[in-house]
Structures are given as C-alpha cells and as structure tokens.
A and B are shown apart, each in its own frame.
Chain A
Amino acid sequence: MEIEGYLFPDDLYYHKEHFWARVEGNTVTVGTTDFAQKSAGDIVFVELPSIGKTLEQGKPCGSLESGKWVGRVYAPVSGKVESSNEELEDSPELINESPYEKGWMFKVSPSNLQEDLKNLMRVDALGDFIKSEVERVKKTKE
C-alpha cells in the first residue's frame, strides 16, 4: 500500500520507530521502512547487532548514518539475533534501493512474538501515523 507517497507492503508489521518485521515461521526479518530511508537520505553506514545478541522490543540495537544524520536501529520484536545482512557492510545503499528486500537488516529468533506483535501496527492502521510523521519531519527540516 502507498501512504503519502511511501510504500508499505501489506504483509509486514510496523514499529513506531519506522522498522518493519516480517514473520516467517519462527524467524522474524527486520528492516527499515521506505519512509525512513527517504527521510534519512543516502545511507552511508549501518551498524547491526551481532549474531547471538539478545534484543528487547523497542530498545536500540544498532545505528544508521547518512551524512550528518545519525539514527538508531530499534528492535521491533524481542529475541536473539540469528543472522545479519553482511552485504550492508560494504553496500549500505541497498537500504535506500530496496528497503523491504535486499536492504533487510537482521533476522531474529523471537522470544515473545505473539505479545510483541500486539504492539506493532499493520498497514491499514498506518495512515494517520505516517501523515503525522511526515509533518513532524517537515518541521524539523525547517
């Protein structure tokens, strides 16, 4: 679905810090949204959590850098990191080019999935939230 010109696939869960979670069996793949990558601009560096690290939903677990902008990566679900996208180390621009596919960040073995999913948004509930975020970002750039 497209909201305010940004793409949000229907099958994902969304965290309010602009990270998405794709649930496939007992693995959750995580990445950042089209809105976040466009707001950040050219992403030139990404620091991801190491394999085996325990994550807590909503807590920072890595960081992104685009020129003078620095942002944190937040875990949309709790669990243990299974793997991370090693291609991003040399090619962080994949997040800009393909935020939902090639630009995925890491995979988590969730520890409290059903409860965590209740705190995430589905695409049909994103409309007003994204509109307010677009306004917020516009104001910070002014």
Chain B
Amino acid sequence: MDLSKLSPKQLLEIDACTRCGECLRFCPIYSQKGEEGINPRGKIQVMKKFIRGQYGLWAKLFGPKKLSEEDVKKFSEMVYHCTLCGECGLQCPVSIDSRSLWLGLKEVLVDLGHYPKNIGLMKNNVLSRYNISGEDNDLRVEWLEAMEGLPDHKYQKERAEVVYFIGCVAAYFPMAHKIPQSFVKILDRTGVDFTLLGGAEWCCGFPLIGGGFRKETQELIRHNIEGVKAKGAHSIIFSCPSCYHTWHENYHTDLKLFDSTQFILNLIREGKIQFEEKKIRVTYHDPCDLGRASGIYEAPRTILRSMPGVEFIELANHGERCKCCGGGGLLEMVDPELSAALAREKIKEIQATGAELVITSCQQCVRTILSTARRMKIPLKISYITEFVLKHMR
C-alpha cells in the first residue's frame, strides 16, 4: 500500500481519530445504512489497521502483512459510499479535514486497482471526450439551440472580459439546461461582456478528483486555463459549485473566480438587476460544494432577501448543517438507491417548511431532488437561483 498519496498531516489525522463517534451523528450515509464500516470513524479505523499491518511494529519485526483482496474490496466499498458532503469534518472535535482525507484514500485505492466500475467508465469519458457523459465535446453548448433571439456570436466571442464556465452536468443533462439558459440571459440583459468557451471547455476535473484520479487532471487544468486566457478574460463565473471549488483548490491561477450567486449579488449591488414584487414563499438548500466546501452561504440568502415579495424560510438543517441531497461525491454512480434515499430525506425536510418552491445553486442538487420527487410522484417545485432571479427581474 503506497501511502505517498496521503500527506503527513493526513497520516497524523488518521492517528488522531479518537473513535469518539461524533461524526456518526452527522454522516448521512450512516443515518441510512447504520453500518459501523460505512461511516467516517469506520473508514479511519480500517485505514489505521492497514497502516499498522504495513508499517507498524509487527511489520518491522516480521515484515508487512499481505493485504487481503477481500479486505481491500470491502474498504473500497466503504470509501466510495460517501457523498463528500464534509459534514463529518466540520463536526469532528479534533478537526480532521475528512473531505480531503476521503479523496486521498480514493487515490490509494485507485493505485491498488480497487474502485467501482462506473467510476472507471466515467474516467474514460472524461479523458477521451473531455466530458462526463461521453458525448462529442462540441455538443457542450447544444442547449443554446432551444433559445430564441440569440445574437450572431451565440455567446461565443473571440474575446471578452468574463468567461462563463458551464460545467458538464448543465451542458449535457437536459434537466439542468435551464441553468445556463437563464444565466446567459441575465448576463446579456445586464450588459456583462462575457463569452462561453463552447467545445473548448473541458471537464474541470472534479469527477476525476472525486473518483481518486487526481493525477489525471493536469492536462484538463492546463487546457482550461489557457482557453480562458486566450479570450483575454480576467474573471470566470461558474454555475456549478463543484467546478468553482475545483478551480479554487486546484487551478492556482490569478484569474478571479465567482460563483453565480456572488456575481449576481454584485450585479444587484451595482443596480444592474432590479426586481418586480412577486409574492412567493421559498426555502433554500445549501449545496455541499458551495457551502461547506467553499464557505458561500450568505450570497444566495442576500439575493433572496433583496427580492420584494419573497418570503424566505430556512430549512431545519441549513447553512453549515445543511444535509446533502444525495447527489454529491459520485454516490449516484456507485449506489443510486442510497443516493435516492438521501434525496427522500431532503424532500421531507423541504416539505416541512411549507415553502412553495425550493431554490438552490447547484445543478446536481436540482437533478437529484427533482428526479427523486418525480419518482415519488410528489409535486415539488425546485429552481436554480438564476432561473428564479430571471423570472423576477424587472
């Protein structure tokens, strides 16, 4: 077992886990499965056992223990049954940065060849077609074809101050097409000098990092930075919080990065967006990659509170405590039933607010919550924040 994928800090964190079990209270997977292995504490304990067997006193005296295929397989199931929601790390009394640790463990497992088949298929799509769906990458802006009154440049200009980075899910999954469709309309109406990258936009690399293939992301990162710089842009805006977070953490660039909510809030403050009064009661779901991973909680709330007629009600678990919808961490590829079970819990929490509409800032949350509600035949209404803003704009 090659531990070079883990930093010295992460090795210390594994050792520092006191098995207090505080993480169990917050882990959405544990709340569904109730298994000791498939939870943060269980994963760390198994890893600790592996490390001792390979590098501990016993290993020094008698040589490293041979890793059993069965044990590694079971460990892989534990590690990949995770939404990467990061709530365990936030609640950990000894401050283990668990989200980063789970990604490191996936890298160790990829090295051992133990990862789910679907994750491998997704990796091949990203590396060969530069998107998660395996479609032709030039179809990344196919959603534009459903729009009317497009300018001649179809928002793909030679140069612009700002690049709007769409992300694979909004580009290829029809349920999320309204997100870029509404966002480009807002940008157009407020006079922002922006462009799309079209087929030159490649996957940001998040699915590879989330699957344990971090080292495979270098070409994607280089290509995307060059693509943005070739447009002469100084800023990038994202409607996908996973893309936003991945750029922030892994791209090491001097370009200014904005999530859609931050950018819209700036437009409101500059007086470029004004709203009509429309009475509606809404709630807001914090996406894991925007909230806990990126620390953006206030921008979407400030937008909603600035809209006349909008009555905003918080979910019972909100902000740092917001529960994952089930769509995070590639769980849907590994265990769709478990992902749907988490979404069902989220839907119950939304219904309990009495809100007419739930708003969020993540395309994957929209897809997970809406598709589960439709399978349950619940008439729940969900809107990405750009759709909601556009509908209310004067």
Bound-state Cα–Cα, A49 to B148, Å = 11
B299 CB to closest chain A CB, in angstroms? 27
Chain A residues with CB below 8 A from B173, complex form: 65, 70
B278 CB to closest chain A CB, in angstroms? 19
Chain A residues with CB below 8 A from B148, complex form: 50
Bound-state Cα–Cα, A53 to B133, Å = 27
B174 touches A93 (CB 8 A): no
A67 touches B379 (CB 8 A): no
Question: Which of B133, B146, B332, B377 makes the CB contact (< 8 A) with A93?
Answer: B377
Chain A residues with CB below 8 A from B332, complex form: 68
B174 touches A64 (CB 8 A): yes
From 115 to 155 in chain B, residues with beta carbon under 8 angstroms from any chain A beta carbon are 133, 146, 148
A54 CB to closest chain B CB, in angstroms? 12
B374 touches A44 (CB 8 A): yes
Give the number of residues in B that approach A within 8 Å (Cβ atoms). Answer: 17
A42 touches B374 (CB 8 A): yes
B175 touches A44 (CB 8 A): yes
Chain A residues with CB below 8 A from B333, complex form: 68
B336 touches A70 (CB 8 A): no
Bound-state Cα–Cα, A49 to B147, Å = 10
Q: In this complex, what residue of B is CB-closest to A71? A: B174
- B371 within 8 A of partner (CB): yes
What does DSSP make chain B's interface, helix, strand, loop or mixed? Answer: helix
- A110 within 8 A of partner (CB): no
- A90 within 8 A of partner (CB): yes
Q: In this complex, what residue of A is CB-closest to B381? A: A90
A65 touches B374 (CB 8 A): no
A36 CB to closest chain B CB, in angstroms? 16
Q: In this complex, what residue of A is CB-closest to B143? A: A47
- A103 within 8 A of partner (CB): no
- B202 within 8 A of partner (CB): no
A66 CB to closest chain B CB, in angstroms? 8
Question: Which of A44, A49, A63 makes the CB contact (< 8 A) with B371?
Answer: A44
B198 CB to closest chain A CB, in angstroms? 18
For B332, B370, B371, B377, the residue with the greatest tally of chain A CB atoms inside 10 Å of its CB is B371
B379 touches A50 (CB 8 A): no
From 50 to 108 in chain A, residues with beta carbon under 8 angstroms from any chain B beta carbon are 50, 62-65, 67-68, 70, 90, 92-93
A139 CB to closest chain B CB, in angstroms? 16
A44 touches B375 (CB 8 A): yes
B56 CB to closest chain A CB, in angstroms? 42
Bound-state Cα–Cα, A64 to B177, Å = 12
Interface string of B335-372 (1 = CB under 8 A from A): 01000000000000000000000000000000000110
Chain B residues with CB below 8 A from A68, complex form: 332-333, 336
Bound-state Cα–Cα, A70 to B177, Å = 12
Q: In this complex, what residue of A is CB-closest to B375? A: A42
Question: Which of A63, A64, A70, A92 makes the CB contact (< 8 A) with B374?
Answer: A92
Bound-state Cα–Cα, A44 to B173, Å = 11
Chain B residues with CB below 8 A from A42, complex form: 374-375
Q: A44-B374, A45-B175 are in contact. Are A67 and B336 (CB under 8 A)?
A: yes
Chain A residues with CB below 8 A from B174, complex form: 45-47, 63-65, 70
A102 CB to closest chain B CB, in angstroms? 15
Q: In this complex, what residue of B is CB-closest to A41? A: B375
For B172, B175, B336, B377, the residue with the greatest tally of chain A CB atoms inside 10 Å of its CB is B175
Sample of 7 further A-B pairs with CB below 8 A, known A49-B146, A93-B374: A42-B374, A44-B371, A44-B374, A45-B174, A45-B374, A70-B173, A92-B374
Return 14 A-B CB contacts under 8 Å, by A number. A44-B175, A44-B375, A46-B174, A47-B146, A47-B177, A49-B146, A50-B146, A62-B146, A63-B174, A65-B175, A67-B371, A70-B172, A92-B374, A93-B377
> Which B positions have Cβ atoms within 8 angstroms of A?
133, 146, 148, 172-175, 177, 332-333, 336, 370-371, 374-375, 377, 379
> Which A positions have Cβ atoms within 8 angstroms of B?
42, 44-47, 49-50, 62-65, 67-68, 70, 90, 92-93
Pick the 7 closest A-B CB pairs, nearest first: A44-B371, A63-B174, A45-B175, A47-B174, A44-B374, A65-B174, A65-B175
